[in-house]
Amino acid sequence: MDMAVSDLVAALAGADANRKRALIRELGRLGDSAAVPALSALVRDRTEPMTSRRLAARALGQIGDSRGCMALITVLSEPAHPDRRLIPRLEQLRRQLEQQSVAGVHQSVRDQQLAEIEGTIAHEGDVVRLLKLSAVTALGEIGYVLALKPLEEMALAGHDKDLAAAAQAALARVREKSGLDAPDEAPPEAEAEPAFVHREFLTCSRCETTSATGLVQRCQNCRLPVCEVHAVHEAGMVFCSQTCVDSFASQPGNWVYWT
């Protein structure tokens, strides 16, 4: 198909189903960002056949333009649409595929098709999940950080193991493409700092101890720096003298610290 991207996009509007699928595939193959708005519109349009929407999602992944992310993310929250009327047809397709004699790359294609059919049957004929699988894969191929949160939510949802696995794989690709390391484990909790420790260089008002040589904090009452040796601790707070403790305690409302 030797047409300009603008011509291919324009031809989508009046194309029949077969022609439209061919046009979408060609737009994905060409990888031109000029096709992103039209493909994004196809992905969002729930009146379009599911095959066309899935192909449009895949094409957005092939193009790799971050502008396609919003349409793909929108698809992830689309409600399920079970349709048990599809199951007999799906079972027939499964039998046909199982009877085919294939090898090499065609074997992997058939295995993928069989897995999709099995998953759709298991989910009561819900073809929307197939669109979500295509969208998740495309988000991984684009690798834009905007997709991290929705992919993380899908990976943790757990109600569909295939979608969760696809989301995990897509997350790894997004982190790799965006230069983010995947979190292997939760970081250790930081130790709580003592009350009123400031990240400034302080010198004790009672001696020559500094922030460089020891722990120096500000008095809760007068705010003068005081080292640990000269500090008075009351009710979880630090004071430079008992006088400051009494002064602070006598102020209106401060009695709550001692209750």
pLDDT of residue 20: 94
The predicted-structure confidence for 37-53, as pLDDT tens digits, reads as follows 999 999 999 999 999 99
Cβ neighbours around 37 below 10 Å, total: 14
Question: In CATH, what number does 5-81+127-178 get?
Answer: 1.25.10.10
198: left (phi over 0), alpha (psi -120 to 50) or beta: beta
C-alpha–C-alpha distance, residues 27 and 59, integer Å: 7
pLDDT of residue 196: 44
**Contact (CB, 8 A) for 230 and 207:** yes
Q: Which two tokens stand for residue 257?
A: 């610290």
pTM higher than 0.95, yes or no?
no
Name the band, by pLDDT with cuts 50, 70 and 90, for residue 183: low
**Contact (CB, 8 A) for 207 and 227:** yes
* Closest CA relative to residue 219, chosen from 241, 252, 246, 193: 241
Domain limits, the chain: 5-81+127-178, 194-259
The predicted-structure confidence for 9-21, as pLDDT tens digits, reads as follows 999 998 999 999 9
Cβ neighbours around 9 below 10 Å, total: 19
**Contact (CB, 8 A) for 32 and 47:** no
Indicate whether 6 pLDDT > 80: yes
Name the band, by pLDDT with cuts 50, 70 and 90, for residue 65: very high
Burial pattern 141-163, b for ≥16 Cβ within 10 A else e, equals bbbbebbbebbeebbeeeebebb
Name the band, by pLDDT with cuts 50, 70 and 90, for residue 104: low
